[in-house]
Structure 1
Amino acid sequence: MKEFTYTINDPAGIHARPAGILVKEAKKFESSISILTANQKGDLKRIFAVMGLGVKQGQTITIQISGPDEDHAADTIESCLKSNL
């Protein structure tokens, strides 16, 4: 399993546009990909799960990836976060 943390820099937090981009990227991989906040967990491949977390600017999230393509998925998701949030 791969895991990394990221602090959200976008003033609007994880809102619809970047959430959609993240979900689209996550769906490209066979691995299971989860997004965790301090007290909640969601499936990064489900838009409503991501939006339901209500992540705001300054919050740190953890991404957990488990599966056959976890290395590539971790690199791609981290890059996507840096580019969009």
Structure 2
Amino acid sequence: MITKTFKIMNPAGFHVRPIKTFVQAASQYPCKVNVINKGKKVNGKSSLSMLTLGIAAQDEVTLEIDGEQEEEAMKTLGDLLVQIHE
């Protein structure tokens, strides 16, 4: 298992559109993906679960990835967390 923390750079936070992109990318990997924000941990492959985190701009979000292709998943998903989306 690997864990890494990322700062959300999008001024609008991590809203529906970036969550959809994140979940689609996470679902491509066979590993388990958890996202943690303010002490709450959810399944990173579930849009509804991700929405419950209420991720805002400048929040520090931790990715916890375990299983096959975890290194590749961490790079891809971490990049998505810090991108600025419209």
Deviating above 3 A after TM superposition, structure 1's stretches of 4 or more consecutive aligned residues are: none
Could you tell me the percent identity over the aligned residues?
26
Aligned twin of 2:46: 46
**How far 1:79 moved relative to its partner?**
1.9
Structure 1, residues 5-55: CA drift from partner, whole Å, max 9, x if none?
A: 111111111100000000000000000000001221111100000011101
Partner residue in 2 for 1:6? 6
Mapping of residues 1-85 of structure 1, within 5 Å: 1-84=1-84
Instruction: Please give the alpha-carbon distance, in whole angstroms, between the structure 2 residues aligned to 1:81 and 1:58.
Output: 11
Offset at residue 81 of structure 1 (A)? 2.0
- Cα distance in 1 for residues equivalent to 2:68 and 2:20: 23
Instruction: Compute the TM-score of the two structures, normalised by the length of structure 2.
Output: 0.91
Q: How many residues align?
A: 85
Gaps in structure 2 of 5+ consecutive residues: none
Root-mean-square deviation (CA), in Å? 1.2
Gaps of 5+ in 1: none
